[in-house]
Amino acid sequence: MYTGSLRRLIDELGRLPGIGPKSAQRIAFHLLKVPGEDAHRLAASIIDVKDNTALCPVCLNVADTDSLCPICIDDRRDTTVLCVVEDPRDIVAVERTSQFRGRYHVLHGALNPLEGVGPEQLRVAELLTRLEPEGVVEVILCTNPNLEGEATALYLARLLTPLGVNVTRIASGLPVGGDLEYADELTLGRALEGRRTMETT
């Protein structure tokens, strides 16, 4: 009951993450309706992002082809503190806090022996080569607070601490605005473990 080109578009849209058959159909019919230039702009931006995007040669974040990423190119950023993340999207999350003025290093994954992801599959070698030339004094391990992220953090801490850098890990605890009653015991345990003296001044 669909035409061939509509069927193909629905199939292609359905491959995108978070897009089920219903959403794919809805988006396809929406694209049928919008002015031709809008649809062409979307198609062009998909091709553009593939053609003109590569990994930053320094931190492996997303960057324009043959260029540093917007953060490494910014010479106001502190080169002595590195924030290690699993994925370029995590950089967006950290940047949104406006609390970090150092640079990043993207591992492109986390240790996961069951899925065959060992240290060689992550961009660890590239991290090691950055420490000395950039004068790094602190590495903040900002991997996810789940099994894979914790294992990766532990692995990196053991690797980096003997090299004389200060290795830190982001805190786990209750989310701001959260409710003790609904906190799971692991998170609450971590929150207790990470307790700090109240500042009263």
3-state class (DSSP) for residue 134:
coil
Choose between 45 and 166: whose C-beta lies nearer to a second copy. Answer: 45
Burial label for 31, CB within 10 Å (0-12, 13-18, 19+), is middle
Residues binding a second copy: number (CB under 8 A): 53
Site string (38-77) toward a second copy, x via CB under 8 A:
xxxxxxxxxxxxx-xx--------xxx----xxx------
Residue 177: how many other CB atoms lie within 10 Å: 5
Q: Which residue among 58, 81, 82, 88 contacts a second copy (CB under 8 A)?
A: 88
Residues 129-168 that bind a second copy (CB under 8 A): none
Choose between 38 and 193: whose C-beta lies nearer to a second copy. Answer: 38
Q: How far apart are CA 195 and CA 81, in angstroms?
A: 24
- Angle at the Cα of 17 (from 13 to 19), degrees rounded to 5? 50
In DSSP terms, which residues pair with 62 in a beta bridge?
Answer: 55
Choose between 61 and 152: whose C-beta lies nearer to a second copy. Answer: 61
Stretch that binds a second copy, among 23-31, 139-147, 158-166, 190-198 (CB under 8 A): 23-31
Q: Pairing relation of β-strands 138-141 and 81-85?
A: parallel
Residues of the shown chain interacting with a second copy in the complex, contacts defined by CB under 8 A: 1-6, 8-9, 11-13, 15-19, 23, 25-32, 36, 38-50, 52-53, 62-64, 69-71, 87-89, 91-92, 95
